[in-house]
Amino acid sequence: MNDVVIGINGLLAILFISQGFLVAAFVRALWQFRRPLPEDAACPPATVVLCLRGRDPFLEDCLSALVQLDYPNYRVQVVVDSREDPAWQLVQQIAAGHAAASFEIVALAERRSTCSLKCSSLLTAVDQLPDECAFVALLDADTIPHRSWLREFAGALADESVGVATGNRWYMPRQAQLGSLVRYHWNAAAVVQMFCYAIPWGGTMAIKARVLRETDVLERWAHAFCEDTMMPQVLRSTGLSVAFVPSLMMVNREACTLGGFFSWVTRQLLTARLYHRAWPLVVFHAVITALVPAAAVAAMIAAGLQGDLTSLVWLAVGLVLYDLALLGLLAPMEWAVRRIVRARGEPTRWFTPALAALTAISVPVTQVLYPTVLTRLMVLRRVKWRGIDYEISPSRSVRLVEYRPYTDSPLPESGPHTSL
């Protein structure tokens, strides 16, 4: 049994060290978030696109921030799922108080059966882009852009080798719920992988107009479930790259139930399975980080049945130290993100004693749910998003099963709601 104990604890140590190197690279990038912002003369015309289906809990904050961006030449294009949508009236109210020339609202007219409603909305928005537009900035309704948000995109895209610039999300939930903390842990690991694999996040992503005009990305969107994960593949033929902008780590303060997390993370992983070549590496990471702790638990049970208390104790110590070490990796990430968020004047204190008490449960729950979702993905053929069912064929084609207008308002804060 001693060899088993040494082997399992050794694997736990290797897992921690390998993940530590990746986290260190990510934290280093976050630490270097301060970059000179371009002057007005270096800010080309831009279009901000927001696609809506349903009224998110922070939608009003998102819209209010959009019309106050510190950028000399931009327009906001909002595509609402239908005029009956709960978000339509709110968008009209916000737009009424600002110049109509910079804030345009349209209802989605063409709902393609071969892609998601969000992709249909994006195609509608891109079809109306003015010729002078240099880049398109996308965001979700749960993203509240700070005043320099668009200017930071312009700075990143000024690099001629960059075709897409992206930030990422970071959760600071207001309510102490187990689902919120599980989502926080999973997302913290996910953003590191997205950074390493150059996977952009559509909740804060900017695309040069030439990419939209000179590649097949629009045709891809017309047959896609999501718009962002495929962008590295789109750019491969152009010689352009995806640039991560550390200052665009965007805070999401929504709460989340465990059921909401399960649905949300299923969609997140589905997009990687469908559109990113690093999917086998994502699966490998998930499997190895689940199997080794599971092997430790199985060995503990076996040691207990055999009355081998020494092995049982050493395995338990190794597993506890591993989980504590993973939590330790969160500390520099949280600290680095808070440093960025504080620089924008946004609040960063969210980790309450109640959430701290839930941590002992949330970490193992996250470790159990992750492989469970991956197992489900292997046979997944239908997924629900904003009340709409989509069929995913083995050939990766998408079919919208049946369209229904969104009528419930507002969306509760108890679940995760990315735009559309």
Residues 21-43: pLDDT tens digits? 999 999 999 999 988 999 999 99
Handedness of CA 231, 233, 236, 237 (dihedral sign): negative
Burial class (CB in 10 A: 0-12, 13-18, 19+), 140: buried
Q: How far is CA 384 from the centre of its chain?
A: 17
Q: How confident is the model at residue 174 (pLDDT cuts 50, 70, 90)?
A: confident
pLDDT(404) > 60: yes
Mean pLDDT of 340-364: 87
List phi, psi (to 5°) of 399.
-135, 125
Taking only the tens place, the pLDDT of each residue in 47-88 is 999 999 999 889 999 999 999 999 999 999 999 999 999 999
Same domain, 268 and 289: no
Tens of pLDDT, residue by residue over 289-326, are 888 888 888 889 988 888 888 888 899 999 989 988 98
Domain identity same for 211 and 313: no
- Do 262 and 325 have their domain in common? no
Q: What is the pLDDT of residue 99?
A: 60
Q: Residues 323, 222: one domain?
A: no
pLDDT (tens digit, 9 = 90+) per residue, 145-161?
999 999 999 999 999 99
pLDDT at 412: 47
For 277, half-sphere exposure in the C-beta direction (CA atoms, 13 angstrom radius) is 6
Confidence of residue 12 (pLDDT cuts 50, 70, 90): very high
Task: Give the tens place of pLDDT for each residue, 207-223.
Answer: 999 999 999 999 999 99
**pLDDT for the residue numbered 303:** 86
Q: Domain check: are 187 and 52 in the same one?
A: yes
Q: Pick the residue with more confidence: 360 or 252? A: 252
Last residue of a domain, one of 260, 277, 294: 277
Confidence class for position 101, pLDDT limits 50, 70, 90: low
Instruction: Report if residue 191 sits inside a domain.
Output: yes
Structural domain contains residue 127: yes
| Domain limits for position 237 | 35-277
Same domain, 267 and 326: no
The verdict on residue 388 lying in a domain is yes
Q: Bin 183: left if φ > 0, else alpha if -120 < ψ < 50, else beta.
A: alpha
Q: Structural domain tally of the chain?
A: 2
Q: Is the pLDDT of residue 399 over 90?
A: yes
User: Residue 133: which pLDDT band, with cuts at 50, 70 and 90?
Assistant: very high
Please indicate, yes or no, if residue 360 is contained in any of the structural domains. yes
pLDDT band, residue 411 (cuts 50/70/90): very low
